[in-house]
Amino acid sequence: MSSRANWSIAGTLSAVLLFAGMDGFANHPVAAAEAVKSSACLAPQYREFDFWIGDWNAFDFSDPNTTVARTKVEKMLDGCVLFENYEGANGLNGRSFTIYDESRKAWHQSWVTNRGELLQLDGSRNADEMVLTGADQTTNGNERQVRGTWKRVRRGVRETAVTSTDGGKTWKPWFDLIFRPRTKASNGDDVKAVADLDTQYQAAVRRNDAATMQRILADDFILVTGSGTTYTKTDLLEEARSGRMRYSHQEDTEQTVRIWGDTAVVTAKLWEKGIQKGMPFDYTLWFSDTYVRTPTGWRYVFGQASLPRYERQR
């Protein structure tokens, strides 16, 4: 849980050291401010939440094999603030700012999302746990109390949250997440993962397996054919479910995969053979498929195909 704060600090320094021998610059207010900010948050209490800092993959505690989000927590503002960037596999994106408030001897966190949600929490370190509490409102306007707990566990951090709508008499589980360090795959691992995924996709098309196609295709997927016709994810899934095309062959050869960071491009030669609306077809074409790495793995976002060649006689 976290919050976003949009702070805008505007300032202009109209003259900066016009002469190299300028006297008194060490006593300039800017220099003094630099010294203050470098030591403002060095006390031990400001380090109590440092165990959450990291580049994480998040998993439901009950399903540790399925990534539900990517979360990055890092320090900012001279180490005084923890900034969380949460990217959920379900489309929920959130940001939070967490700070130790020396004036109140308490931790504060503000959390906002791309769904217009705001949650503010306050609390403290209790033994080996960070416990923050706050309240928001349900859709019917009733107050809902929230209690979040962060705890270091083996190979990561566990965050749990519970809620109460009866003033804290009873509590219900909200979520239970495990954060594991995000490991960078080698280029070779990425090449194999994307190649396997594209092969899975071609096999799913041959079987008219809409469920597998839906899992691999990004929601905003676009296919452009050699004739200039475009298809969306919805179009392809509807075609698969209709069964209008029955394939006896849908396989590629000469496959190559190139990786640029979180983007991959697959190029291959595809042989398609089958029956469409009672008419046989048999052709080859070249295609390029573009995949993008997401918090839950690679997704097929764009496809482009050449015009088919019908010279094969089988």
**Dist. CA 290–CA 259, nearest whole Å:** 10
Which has more pLDDT, 38 or 69? 69
In a domain, 84, yes or no: yes
In a domain, 16, yes or no: no
What per-residue confidence (pLDDT) applies to 12?
Answer: 33
157 in the same domain as 37: yes
Q: Could you read off the pLDDT of 130-146 as tens digits, one per residue?
A: 999 999 988 888 899 99
227 in the same domain as 118: no
User: 229 by DSSP, 3-state: which?
Assistant: coil
In a domain, 205, yes or no: yes
What per-residue confidence (pLDDT) applies to 303?
Answer: 95
277 in the same domain as 136: no
State whether the Cα torsion 11-17-23-27 is positive or negative: positive
Q: Are 201 and 207 in contact (CB under 8 A)?
A: no
What per-residue confidence (pLDDT) applies to 5?
Answer: 34
The CATH number given to whatever domain includes residue 248 is: 3.10.450.50
**Dist. CA 87–CA 121, nearest whole Å:** 20
177 in the same domain as 35: yes
* Mean pLDDT for the stretch of residues 167-177: 95
Q: Which residues lie across from 284 on neighbouring strands?
A: 271, 309
142 in the same domain as 124: yes
Sole residue written with tokens 């209008």: 244
Q: Are 40 and 78 in contact (CB under 8 A)?
A: yes
Domain boundary among 133, 166, 181: 181
72 in the same domain as 91: yes
CB atoms within 10 A of CB 140: 6
47 in the same domain as 160: yes
In a domain, 83, yes or no: yes
* Overall pTM > 0.75: no
176 in the same domain as 113: yes
What per-residue confidence (pLDDT) applies to 252?
Answer: 82
| Number of separate domains in the chain | 2
269 in the same domain as 194: yes
**Dist. CA 127–CA 151, nearest whole Å:** 10
The CATH number given to whatever domain includes residue 48 is: 2.40.128.20
Q: What is the end-to-end Cα distance of the chain in Å, rounded?
A: 60
**How many C-alpha atoms does 136 have within 13 Å on its Cβ side?**
16
**Dist. CA 52–CA 74, nearest whole Å:** 9
Domain boundary among 181, 203, 224: 181
**Dist. CA 36–CA 34, nearest whole Å:** 5
Sole residue written with tokens 């706050």: 134
Structural domain that includes position 145: 25-181
Element (H, E) at 32: helix 29-38
82 in the same domain as 198: no
Element (H, E) at 203: helix 187-207
175 in the same domain as 282: no
Residue closest to 265 by CA, chosen among 228, 227, 293: 293
Domain boundary among 123, 155, 181: 181
CB atoms within 10 A of CB 270: 21
pLDDT confidence bin for 104, thresholds 50/70/90: very high
CA 59 to chain centre: 12
Q: Could you read off the pLDDT of 213-222 as tens digits, one per residue?
A: 999 999 999 9
In a domain, 238, yes or no: yes
Q: Could you read off the pLDDT of 180-191 as tens digits, one per residue?
A: 998 766 678 889
**Dist. CA 294–CA 298, nearest whole Å:** 6
In a domain, 314, yes or no: no
In a domain, 52, yes or no: yes
